Structure 1
Amino acid sequence: MKLSQSRARLREAGQGYAFMSPTLFVLLLFIIGPIFYAVFLSFHKVQLLGTSSFDFVGLDNYANILNDGRARIALWNTAKYVMIVVPVQTFLALVLAASLNAGLKGEKAFRIIYFLPTLTSSAVLTLIFMWMYNQNGLINHILAFVNLPTYNWIGDPAVALNAIMIMNIWSTAPFYMVIYLAALQDIPDSLYEAAELDGANAIQKFFYVTVPNLRPVTSFVVIMGLIGTFQLFDQSYIFSAGSGGPNNSTLTVVLLIYQYAFKSLGTMGYAAALAFALAVVILTATLIQRKFSKEESLY
């Protein structure tokens, strides 16, 4: 009896894995396999063009990161971008969601208008903003009209990264707004009614009822924001034509990885080491954020 049951279980498990085999094959070929191959490359000096060669160098690629001035610049630019964009886009998304959830007139129209930037292709959006950021573009014309100083948004190293920040906050906040908007529907109205009976105004209800009840969603939004901002590439690439300029002011870690992997000979292994180091940084930042969010939920 037990033997027949074990055979039935094995047969059932085999059928399950047979149905899963196409998905498992795709995961192994396009996700798990490339990850292990990238780790393998990070321990080698790799020449892929012409005569391929793989020379084992151990931890030299990782040690070279500490002595690479451009890697330090890219890491600082990326860290500054993350520290500014993630909090601002999270707060803006929450405010937009709360305003739409308040039952304003024309709420559906505003939802569509707010969400339009998220539907736009990142490359197209970047090209539009480059036109707007031009010295004779729309933004400088508006600033000059209200007697405010104009900027060389693309060519000034002190402003270029800030210009990308503004564009990305504007385009990504609506996506997280939709997540917050869905979560707001689950907050009981009785909590707001109780707060109103205690004399709370709209701002107090927002900070003492809405924000605490959205902590799990905020944790998810922050983690997704961290992962996305650490991987900034396409906007920086288009803005600087792949150089990370002006004066390395828009150079990010992912753009630097691209440059070493495809623009320089013999540095594919070093690029893989940079990519693996970036993955460790993202994982560490995510774990720290999750730890803080769990500690906040205890209070």
Structure 2
Amino acid sequence: MMVKDNNDARAAWLFLAPVLVLVTLFTLLPVLYALYASVHKIDIVSGRSTWAGLANAQYLLDDPKFWAACRNTIRYVAIVVPAQTLLALALACVLNGKVRFKRGFVTLLFLPTLTSSAAMTMIFMWLFNNNGIVSQAIHNHFGITIRFLSDPAWALPIIMLMNVFSTVPNFMVVYLAGLQQIPQQLYEAMTLDGAGPVSRHWHISVPHLMPITFYVATMGLIGCFQVFDQAFILSRGDGGPENSTLTFTLLIYHFAFRTYNTMGLACALAVVLAIVILLATLLLKRLMPAQGVDA
């Protein structure tokens, strides 16, 4: 019996070995190197590194671009996460009812999720540039000229709108799957008691979907803190106009690949971002219960 258990253990480790090697090479070692580099000044050309201690962190605190990225990212998270969560839930509730051509609607609504971020960003830039359809329509109907992509007040909201448009369908499908698991007898009982659709939704759907809401909010929170490609493409990599689209990840890119001898700063900012995401996730867990109700 002992020999069989040993053979099973060897077989299990043999099957796990390729995955463990990949995780070690591409996850664990980079994380450890980032922690090491965050307290060093690194010359990526010569490979030399010198101890910097908290100097990298102090540089970030004194850098106005860091605070601009902080403001933009927090604003982005505070608006996009609630918006995409509520819209996904609302669409799922609508499609969960008696809607004709439900599968067709779900397929059409899910198409933006299948589109690459780069393609989606180019489409929105085409829509909102100075000669775009949206800009021209506003100018023709209201006589107002809005330069969405070059105005600091509008550039980040365009990225927010783009992110909500592309992520809501994915979360909507998750909510829709959760709604279909709720026993219909609960809705029927409340209907007999005279409850309307809003009351039924608030007292049945929302509590039962709490674990899914926690998942959607958590994934949205992490994704929004790591937004990069849309801001990079729209601003052509510089975080403009006037740093209005500069995010944490875009600033990490600047330190790592656009400024000489600042890889340590990039790693320090990456560590700061990881800590911020961890604290925000823990706060979300305290504010939002991850357990639903028993059916």
Q: Does 1:94 align with 2:97?
A: no
Aligned to 2:33: 37
Q: Does 1:214 align with 2:200?
A: no
Shift of 1:148: 6.8
Deviations along 1:164-208, whole A, 9 cap, x unmatched?
111111111111001001101101111111111121111221222
> How far, CA to CA, are the matches of 1:212 and 1:141 in structure 2?
44
Instruction: From 98, 103, 119, give the equivalent of 1:103.
Output: 98
Structure 1 gaps of 5+ residues are none
Residues 167-176 or 8-17, more deviating: 8-17
Aligned to 2:181: 186
8 Å Cα contact 2:69/2:251 also seen in 1: yes
> How far, CA to CA, are the matches of 1:276 and 1:25 in structure 2?
24
> How far, CA to CA, are the matches of 1:93 and 1:116 in structure 2?
14
Instruction: From 21, 28, 36, give the equivalent of 1:25.
Output: 21
> How far, CA to CA, are the matches of 1:205 and 1:109 in structure 2?
26
Letter in 2 for 1:133: F
SS of 2:288's equivalent?
A: helix
Q: Does 1:65 align with 2:75?
A: no
Shift of 1:297: 5.8
Aligned to 2:244: 249
Structure 2 gaps of 5+ residues are none
Aligned to 2:253: 258
> How far, CA to CA, are the matches of 2:88 and 2:161 in structure 1?
14
* CA shift in 2, pair 1:296/1:148, >3 Å: farther
User: Could you tell me the TM-score, scaled by structure 2's length?
Assistant: 0.95
> How far, CA to CA, are the matches of 1:20 and 1:219 in structure 2?
31
Shift of 1:295: 8.2
8 Å Cα contact 2:232/2:239 also seen in 1: yes
> How far, CA to CA, are the matches of 2:50 and 2:290 in structure 1?
46
Letter in 2 for 1:266: N
Residues 12-21 or 25-34, more deviating: 12-21
User: Could you tell me the TM-score, scaled by structure 1's length?
Assistant: 0.94
Aligned to 2:220: 225
Shift of 1:256: 0.2
Deviations along 1:249-288, whole A, 9 cap, x unmatched?
0000000000000001110001000001100100111111
> How far, CA to CA, are the matches of 1:184 and 1:145 in structure 2?
43
- CA RMSD of the aligned region, Å? 1.6
Deviations along 1:116-166, whole A, 9 cap, x unmatched?
111111001100110101111111233235437342110000111011111
Instruction: From 253, 263, 268, give the equivalent of 1:273.
Output: 268
Deviations along 1:95-131, whole A, 9 cap, x unmatched?
1111111021111111111111111110011001101
> How far, CA to CA, are the matches of 2:51 and 2:151 in structure 1?
42
SS of 2:153's equivalent?
A: coil
> How far, CA to CA, are the matches of 1:255 and 1:52 in structure 2?
24
SS of 2:142's equivalent?
A: coil
8 Å Cα contact 2:155/2:244 also seen in 1: yes
- Structure 1 runs of 4+ aligned residues shifted over 3 Å read 7-11, 295-298
Shift of 1:43: 1.1
* CA shift in 2, pair 1:276/1:159, >3 Å: same
Shift of 1:61: 1.2
* CA shift in 2, pair 1:192/1:149, >3 Å: farther
